[in-house]
Amino acid sequence: MPEFDQRSFRSALGRFATGVTIITARGADGRPVGVTANSFNSVSLDPPLVLWSLARTSSSLEAYESAEAFAIHILGIEQEHLSNRFATKGADKFEGMDVDHAGVPLLDGCAARFHCRKVQRHEVGDHILFIGEVVEFEACDGAPLLYVQGKYGEARRREAAELSYDLDAARLGKGAILNLFSHAYVRILGRVRAEFEAIGLQQAASIILGALAEGMTALPEIRQFAIERDYDFSPQEQQALVGEGLIAIEGGRVALLPKGHEAYGALLAALKTVEDHLVGECTPGELSEARHFLARIGNLDSDF
């Protein structure tokens, strides 16, 4: 067994975020006691049980052992000073505080307070575990103080509105080139698809035929061609083209069959229809500017 490093163990435990409580009681001698504790936890709803543990080294141990009741105060975010005070050994923890002279001492202004009857005690390692039955409790709206990794903190709900950037400001405006491209692309693609549909050409066929027409024959190369155009085809679609007698596949290579040549001719004619429509919608000046601009953006030669 590797040596158990106490410091790393404490540090690992400290990653568990907790609230902070002060647990008070009155000793047999009538002296009020209180300790800061984050070992508090709920145990049962019915009956209502809670637990906490106290180090055997606590100077208040005897008082808690003899007491029949204790009060658990869940501290609010403004009560860090009280947490520090009740965590200090030897300090007069109740100095200047207005607490009752009989019964369990109660602190005010906490996020919640549980009045407990001590029902069980267990000796567990270097701590004594106390289980209390809650006989009465109060809670207020205030936010609770937290403790994590040896530091105090406060809870903050994670909400989408708290994102560090302003979505409205980041949104692209109407005239953004990206938006214009996207709209134009979707509209042109829609026309191409409609033309292909009219001649009964499936998209898988059009993309594979298109790749073959570009001189590609290897299947991985054709698939890459399809992916770059935002379209991938399934092995079934690929096989359907073989079944229709458009292409033949052998050793990972695709060849265009006579029927495929015909289909490819129809595909080119469909594309030409769309192109003619587009050109017909533009003035010669717009066309020349658009060709120049799109070739530059697409990183193509100007004489493409």
Ligand X SMILES: Cc1cc2nc3c(=O)[nH]c(=O)nc-3n(C[C@H](O)[C@H](O)[C@H](O)COP(=O)(O)O)c2cc1C
**146 touching ligand X, by CB under 6 A:** no
Using the rule CB under 6 A, which residue among 25, 35, 63, 82 binds ligand X? 35
DSSP secondary structure string, 210-260? HHHHTT--BHHHHHHHHHHTT----HHHHHHHHHTTSEEEETTEEEE-HHH
Which tokens is 5 given?
């490093």
Query: How far is residue 74 from each of residues 106, 108, 184, measured CA to CA in Å?
Result: 12, 10, 61
- Closest contact distance (angstroms) between CB of 36 and ligand X is 4
Task: Give just the sign of the alpha carbon dihedral 46, 47, 48, 51.
Answer: negative
Among 182, 238, 179, CA closest to 207: 238
Find the binder of ligand X among 20, 25, 82, 116 (CB under 6 A).
Answer: 20
Q: Is 24 an interacting residue with respect to ligand X (CB under 6 A)?
A: no
Residues sharing a CB contact under 8 Å with residue 214, sequence separation 6 or more, in sequence order: 225
Q: Is 55 in the site for ligand X (CB under 6 A)?
A: yes
Which range of residues in 51-59, 156-164, 220-228, 295-303 is near ligand X by CB under 6 A?
51-59
149 binds ligand X (CB under 6 A): no
- For ligand X, the binding residue among 24, 38, 206, 238 (CB under 6 A) is 38
Applying CB under 6 A, among 19, 27, 58, 80 the residue interacting with ligand X is 58
- Choose the binding region for ligand X from 4-12, 53-61, 155-163, 164-172 (rule: CB under 6 A): 53-61
For residue 278, the Cα-to-chain-centroid distance in whole angstroms is 45
Contact residues toward ligand X (CB under 6 A) are: 20, 35-39, 53-55, 58-60, 83, 86-87, 89, 147
